[in-house]
Amino acid sequence: MTSNITALQWLEAAKHRRSVYGLASTSKISKEEIQKILEETLSFAPSSYNTQPTRLTLITGEKQREFWNAIQAVAEPILRDFGESVWAQMGPRFEAFKGAHGSVLFWESEDSIKMSQQFHPAAAHMFNEFSDHTNGMHQILVWTALEIAGLGANLQHMQALPGVEDAIKKFCDVPNDWKLKAHLNFGDEAQEHPPVPQKLEYSKTLQVL
């Protein structure tokens, strides 16, 4: 069976995805349409042995600001400890993130990974890495779909700071075995859609035998 779009058409669409930091609190597509994008992604994205360890959370509207306030309560003192210049740089970014329309959180279920390890013992040592791979695949699909739908989005990892992941888990009230992998902020674009940044020469990144 062939698809009714060409490989290059699909890549052209995928190429539209960029890191967009200027985001508005509005969204030209409805919450239901955003939810549909997440459901579609979950309905077909690949995972090793089809074990499906990825979990998603959708946050929209007023909850976006409350969510970022919960992150900031933990992150701000840590960032200030690194130096006031760090907070001077990061503070405005927090305000921008709070002013976006929503977030998609990408989690992995550690219980799901443990079950996969028991079920496929020969590959047990690979399942944490496999989970990262499938999580990244979900991330790129959702990020691209939201931007093709006309929104902008940027990917964050505030859980790198100690205590932030616990605060996020508490805010979302998710099962204890869920581990946060990435966080996509999104909203209508409040800036020009950025160009593709410069990439390495193919001679450095592509081997053709």
**Under 8 Å between Cβ of 31 and 60:** yes
Q: Assign 127 to helix, strand or coil.
A: helix
C-beta of 29 vs 155, nearer to ligand FMN: 155
Compute the least distance from the CB of residue 35 to ligand FMN, in Å.
24
Q: Which residues bind ligand FMN (CB under 6 A)?
A: 18-19, 154-157, 194, 197
Compute the least distance from the CB of residue 112 to ligand FMN, in Å.
21
Spatial neighbors of 85 by CB under 8 A, at least 6 apart, are none
C-beta of 18 vs 169, nearer to ligand FMN: 18
Compute the least distance from the CB of residue 58 to ligand FMN, in Å.
19
C-beta of 18 vs 101, nearer to ligand FMN: 18
Residues recorded for the chain: 209
Written as one string, the DSSP assignment of 45-82 is ---GGG---EEEEEEETHHHHHHHHHHHHHHHHHHHHT
C-beta of 25 vs 156, nearer to ligand FMN: 156
Compute the least distance from the CB of residue 158 to ligand FMN, in Å.
8
C-alpha 161/C-alpha 61 separation (Å) is 25
